[in-house]
Chains A and B, each alone.
Chain A
Amino acid sequence: MAKDGGQTNRVALARLAGVQKRYGDTVALNGLDLEVRAGELLAVLGPNGAGKTTAIALMLGLQIPDAGEVTLFGRSPHDLAARRNVGVMMQEVALPDALTVRDLIGQTSAYYPAPLSLAETIALAGIEKIAVRPYIKLSGGQKRQAQFALAVCGRPRLLFLDEPTTGLDINARETMWAAVRGLVAGGASVVLTTHYIEEAEALADRVVVMAKGREVAQGTVREMRGLVSRKRIDCATSLTLAKVQAWNEVSAASLGENGQLSITTADAEAVVRKLLSADPGLKDLEVRRAGLSEAFAELTQEPVAQEPAE
């Protein structure tokens, strides 16, 4: 049995290899390869229906792939010994609501070989105020905090967080982020799916972008920021799409419904200079910074909900 000491960064704690999964006629995953490495915080981003939640369900053994291989700590995810290293926060779960948060922590930590104490769990999740309350009396955000406490109570080496901060206020979100950073600093790995790109920027070492059941881009947060440094240029012009697309500086160009030309580029000044000299009658020129969401829209070839301006 290989130990993971020594080559920490190369070892995949969880791995999907060539995984296919369909539900009826819908293809959820289409040949996905995904690795979670020791000690990293991996953010999985993508529009709804990209297959993020299915990917996590497979790693946890909740689904069986139609094709491909799934391993968790080198074993089948159905192996209890593998899952005893894992903490989970799912998107939609209704916990037994007559139990208090303390009860729920007590029940969940009993599944792990060496869990945190109740007090340690409560302190880590920052939920002192709600610990003695029945789950049913908690607000939506407080329920997420309680679920986070359940995810961390077993000292997991690998933590799955599926949209963890949905519904949290800013303070609660900061508390959860700090706890996640602390766990990663302590050597744990985290898989985070999120709609909030700023959350991935704040926490992730590595980002994977998914669309239509496949990985469409992956890299460090820094590399992803490279995508954001692009600019978007809109204008009304008589130039043809093909001509503009042929320019070296243009990474993507498209025509809007109203005939407006949209260009994505890393060198806006050069493109604007060329546009103006090629079409003196050009109108409605607009240049703005592309957001991550636009970068993803481009990568995933799908409209993504507009992010608030940064």
Chain B
Amino acid sequence: MTALLDTGPKMPLARVLGAYLSDAKYESLRLLRTPAFSVPILAMPILFYTFFGVLLNGGGHRPPGFADMMFVGWTVYGVMGPGLFGFGILVAVERNMGLLTYKRALPMPTGSYLAAKLMMAYVFALVVMAMLVAAGITMGHVTLAPAKLLAVAAVMSLGVIPACAIGLFIGAWAPASSAGAIANISYLGMAFLSGLFFPLSGFLHDIRFIWPTYHLVQLAHAAAGMPTEGSLVRHAGVLAAMSAVLILAASRKLARRG
């Protein structure tokens, strides 16, 4: 048995926290500097919202509540993108390119790799949310009071987590070459088949509860004081359970060594 050797200076807690913050900073910085990531993630929600929610809103002659529903729907769409793609594509690619292995060899604090991506998802989601609020108030005929807007933003900040969980699951299990396609299909499915922007009918209506976005938009509608269906506790519970299962399944894959 080898003797324990002196491992030199201890790492003070402040430096450990500093390492988490520095990882979060550089993760956000590098993705802001990567147009292939930042442009679609930041620009698509505001472009789609401006087109469908503002320009095609019938000059304000739509039924009451239409503008608010559009706004909340595109907000859900916008805040889910960074987590879904930030984890979904990047974890798969970084697994494949050796970065994840390299980071494991370094004395990076436990969980900092994922914490940095989570913080990055929040930074991007905050920017998306701010742009949508600005557009909604100035052009989108959104009638929500500031307190209601804040409540919607609070729900959205919780919604970032299931998006990251789905992304992490894809990133952990999908091959790097197809992770992007899988993330895109999941994103479009969640956005357009879950009733974010229009009422569902028939089969799609029957299976709406499979989409995390359905549950999230119900919570957001509640926060905005709009009509909802089903129990809010159950919507929150489904999102939490879905996230936990996906994160667990992903960690099993990522933790597997050798």
Interface residues of A (CB under 8 A from B): 1-4, 11-13, 15, 21, 60-65, 71, 73-75, 80-86, 88, 90, 92-96, 98-99, 103, 106-108, 110-114, 134, 154, 157, 160
Contact = CB atoms under 8 A, between A and B. Distances in A.
A48 to B, nearest CB: 18
B15 A3 contact: no
Given A107-B22, A107-B26, A83 B3 contact: no
Given A64-B257, A85-B8, A114-B9, A74 B3 contact: yes
Given A80-B107, A107-B26, A62 B101 contact: yes
Given A90-B102, A96-B26, A99-B30, A1 B107 contact: no
Contacts of A86: 105, 107
Contacts of B22: 106-107, 110
Given A90-B98, A108-B106, A11 B5 contact: yes
Given A98-B30, A99-B26, A110-B18, A60 B7 contact: no
A34 to B, nearest CB: 13
A95 to B, nearest CB: 7
B102 A4 contact: no
A84 B4 CA distance: 15
A62 B105 contact: yes
B7 A85 contact: yes
Interface residues of B, number: 38
Contacts of B11: 80-81, 84, 112-113
A58 to B, nearest CB: 9
B104 interface: yes
B33 interface: yes
Contacts, number: 126
Contact of B109 (A61, A71, A80): A80
B138 interface: no
Contacts of A1: 3-6
Contacts of A96: 26-27, 30, 99
Interface in B1-46: 2-12, 15, 18-19, 22-23, 26-27, 29-31, 33-34
B86 to A, nearest CB: 13
Interface in B78-135: 94, 97-99, 101-102, 104-110
A106 B8 CA distance: 21
A84 B23 contact: no
Given A11-B5, A107-B26, 7 more contacts: A4-B5, A15-B2, A81-B10, A88-B102, A93-B97, A94-B99, A107-B22
A205 B115 CA distance: 42
B227 interface: no
B26 A2 contact: no
B26 to A, nearest CB: 5
Nearest to A115: B15
27 contacts: A1-B3, A1-B5, A21-B258, A60-B104, A61-B105, A71-B2, A74-B3, A81-B10, A88-B102, A88-B106, A93-B101, A93-B102, A94-B99, A95-B102, A98-B30, A98-B33, A99-B29, A103-B30, A106-B22, A106-B26, A110-B15, A110-B23, A111-B108, A112-B107, A113-B11, A113-B12, A114-B8
Nearest to B38: A98
Given A99-B26, A111-B109, A63 B258 contact: yes
A62 B7 contact: no
Contact of B257 (A62, A82, A94, A103): A62
Contacts of A63: 257-258
Contact of B29 (A103, A112, A160): A103
B136 to A, nearest CB: 31
B5 A74 contact: yes
Nearest to A95: B99
Given A60-B105, A106-B26, A12 B7 contact: no
B97 A83 contact: no
Nearest to B97: A94
Contacts of B19: 110-111
Nearest to A99: B30
Contacts of A98: 29-31, 33-34
Nearest to A60: B105
A2 B30 contact: no
Nearest to B257: A64
Give me the 8 closest cross-chain CB pairs, A-B, nearest first: A94-B97, A2-B3, A74-B4, A98-B33, A110-B22, A83-B107, A64-B258, A84-B107
B97 A113 contact: no
B75 to A, nearest CB: 28
A66 B258 CA distance: 9
A307 B11 CA distance: 46
A154 B29 contact: no
A83 B3 CA distance: 16
A146 to B, nearest CB: 13
Interface string B46-60: 000000000000000
A62 B258 CA distance: 7
A90 B101 CA distance: 9
Given A74-B2, A84-B7, A113-B12, A107 B104 contact: no
Interface centre among B2, B11, B26, B257 (most CB of A within 10 A): B2
